Structure 1
Amino acid sequence: MSPSTRPPASDLQVDFPFDYAAHVGDGRRMGRLPERTADARVAVIGAGASGLAAAYELLRAGCRPVVYEAERSQDGPGGRRLGGRMYSRRLDEGDSAVVELGCLRFPESARLLRQYGHTFDVRLEPFRDNYAAPTPLTVLDVDGRQYPAGSLEDLYDLHEEFREAHTRWQRALARIGFLQIQRDVAARDLTAVRRRWRTVLTRFEMWSFYRFLRDPEGAGLSHDQARLLGTAGIGPAVWDSFFELSMVEILRLLLCSEGSGLLYAPDGISRLAEGFWAHRTTGPDGRTRSLEAANAGALRPAVRAVDVEPDAARGVVVHSEDGRSERYAAAVFTPQLRLLETGVEVRSTAAHTPALGPRLWRAIRRLHYWQSSKTALVVDSPFWEGTSMDGVTLTDRLPRAAYTLDYGPPRGPGGRRGVVDLSFTWAQDAMKVAPSAPEERLALFIRDLADIHPEVADALRAHADAAATLTVSWEDKRNFRGLSRFSCPGDHPYQRDLFAHFMKDFSGTAAVPGEPPNALFLAGDDTSWSPGWVDHALASGLNAAWGVLRQLGARPEPGNPGPGDLWDDPRYTPLTLP
Structure 2
Amino acid sequence: MSDTRSPHQKPFALFGPDFTFAYDDWLQHPAGLGQLPPTQHGTRVAIIGAGLAGLVCGHELMKMGLHPVVYEAGRLGGRLRSAVFDGSDGVIAELGGMRFPRSSRGFYHYVEQTGLHTAPFPNPLTEAAGSTVIELEGERFYARRLSDLPPLFQQVAAAYDQALEEQASFSALQEAIQQRDAAAVKAIWNPLVKDWDERTFYDFIASSRAFQQLSFRHREVFGQVGFGTGGWDSDFPNSMLEILRVNVTRCDEDQHLIIGGAEQLPQGLWQQPLQQAVHWPPGTSLQQLNQGAPRPAVRRIHRNDQGQLTLTDSRGHQESFAAVITTCQSWLLTTAIDTEENLFSQPLWMALDRTRYMQSAKTFVMTDRPFWKDKNPQTGEDCMSMTLTDRLTRGTYLFDQGDNRPGVICLSYAWMSDALKVLPLDAEKRVELALAALKKIYPDVDLASHIRGNPITVSWESDPNFLGAFKGALPGHYRYNQRMYSHFMQDQLPAGQRGLFLAGDDISWTPAWAEGAVQTALNAVWGVLHHLGGHTHPDNPGPGDCWHTWQPITLDN
Q: TM-score range, shorter-chain basis?
A: over 0.9
Tell me the equivalent position of 1:214: 206
2:57 alignment partner AA? A
Question: Contact (CA 8 Å) 2:29, 2:540: kept in 1 or not?
Answer: no
1:109 alignment partner AA? S
* CA distance in 2: counterparts of 1:263 and 1:236, whole angstroms: 12
2:450 alignment partner AA? H
SS in structure 2 opposite 1:296?
coil
Tell me the equivalent position of 1:300: 295
Alignment partner for residue 318 of structure 2, among 325, 334, 347?
325
Alignment partner for residue 489 of structure 1, among 450, 475, 478?
475
SS in structure 1 opposite 2:234?
helix
Tell me the equivalent position of 2:396: 402
Percent of aligned pairs sharing the same letter? 36
User: How far off its partner does 1:116 sit?
Assistant: 0.6
Question: Contact (CA 8 Å) 2:79, 2:96: kept in 1 or not?
Answer: yes
* CA distance in 1: counterparts of 2:5 and 2:186, whole angstroms: 21
Tell me the equivalent position of 2:378: none
Question: Contact (CA 8 Å) 1:10, 1:182: kept in 2 or not?
Answer: no
Tell me the equivalent position of 1:75: none
Tell me the equivalent position of 1:56: 59
- Do residues 199 (structure 1) and 191 (structure 2) align? yes
Query: Which has the higher mean CA deviation after the structures are superposed, 255-264 or 553-562?
Result: 255-264
1:357-387: CA deviation from partner (whole Å, max 9, x where unpaired):
0000010111110000000001221121135
* CA distance in 2: counterparts of 1:68 and 1:286, whole angstroms: 21
Tell me the equivalent position of 2:373: 385
Matches within 5 A, 1:8-157: 10-25=13-28, 27-71=30-74, 81-92=75-86, 94-155=88-149
Tell me the equivalent position of 2:163: 172
Tell me the equivalent position of 2:217: 224
Alignment partner for residue 461 of structure 1, among 426, 448, 467?
448
Tell me the equivalent position of 1:246: 239
SS in structure 1 opposite 2:372?
coil
* CA distance in 2: counterparts of 1:129 and 1:308, whole angstroms: 48
SS in structure 2 opposite 1:317?
strand
Matches within 5 A, 1:328-367: 328-347=321-340, 354-367=342-355
Alignment partner for residue 418 of structure 1, among 397, 407, 419?
407
SS in structure 1 opposite 2:302?
strand
1:259–1:479 Cα change, 3 Å: closer
1:219–1:149 Cα change, 3 Å: same
Question: Contact (CA 8 Å) 2:362, 2:413: kept in 1 or not?
Answer: yes
* CA distance in 2: counterparts of 1:534 and 1:238, whole angstroms: 20
1:463–1:307 Cα change, 3 Å: same
- Do residues 266 (structure 1) and 259 (structure 2) align? yes
- Do residues 575 (structure 1) and 549 (structure 2) align? no
- Do residues 436 (structure 1) and 425 (structure 2) align? yes
1:286–1:469 Cα change, 3 Å: closer
1:332–1:361 Cα change, 3 Å: same
2:486 alignment partner AA? A
Question: Contact (CA 8 Å) 2:384, 2:442: kept in 1 or not?
Answer: no
1:228 alignment partner AA? V
1:358–1:50 Cα change, 3 Å: same
Question: Contact (CA 8 Å) 1:316, 1:328: kept in 2 or not?
Answer: yes
* CA distance in 1: counterparts of 2:83 and 2:235, whole angstroms: 28
* CA distance in 1: counterparts of 2:326 and 2:90, whole angstroms: 35
Query: What's the TM-score once normalised by structure 2's chain length?
Result: 0.93
SS in structure 1 opposite 2:128?
coil
Question: Contact (CA 8 Å) 2:174, 2:249: kept in 1 or not?
Answer: no
1:298–1:216 Cα change, 3 Å: closer
User: How far off its partner does 1:335 sit?
Assistant: 0.7
Tell me the equivalent position of 2:359: 371
* CA distance in 2: counterparts of 1:24 and 1:143, whole angstroms: 49
User: How far off its partner does 1:390 sit?
Assistant: 4.4
Could you tell me which runs of 5 or more consecutive residues in structure 2 were left unpaired when the two chains were aligned.
376-381
Tell me the equivalent position of 1:542: 522
User: How far off its partner does 1:94 sit?
Assistant: 4.7
User: How far off its partner does 1:19 sit?
Assistant: 1.4
1:137 alignment partner AA? S
Large movers: runs of 4+ above 6 Å:
2-8
Alignment partner for residue 182 of structure 1, among 171, 174, 179?
174
* CA distance in 2: counterparts of 1:3 and 1:120, whole angstroms: 27
1:287 alignment partner AA? P
1:146–1:378 Cα change, 3 Å: same
1:496–1:389 Cα change, 3 Å: farther
User: How far off its partner does 1:550 sit?
Assistant: 0.6
SS in structure 1 opposite 2:134?
strand
User: How far off its partner does 1:454 sit?
Assistant: 2.1
* CA distance in 2: counterparts of 1:6 and 1:224, whole angstroms: 38
* CA distance in 2: counterparts of 1:6 and 1:204, whole angstroms: 31
Question: Contact (CA 8 Å) 1:394, 1:401: kept in 2 or not?
Answer: yes
Count of aligned residue pairs for this structure pair? 542
Could you tell me which runs of 5 or more consecutive residues in structure 1 were left unpaired when the two chains were aligned.
72-80, 349-353, 411-415
2:528 alignment partner AA? V
* CA distance in 2: counterparts of 1:286 and 1:326, whole angstroms: 22
User: How far off its partner does 1:65 sit?
Assistant: 0.1
User: How far off its partner does 1:190 sit?
Assistant: 0.9
1:200-226: CA deviation from partner (whole Å, max 9, x where unpaired):
211111111111111145743543211
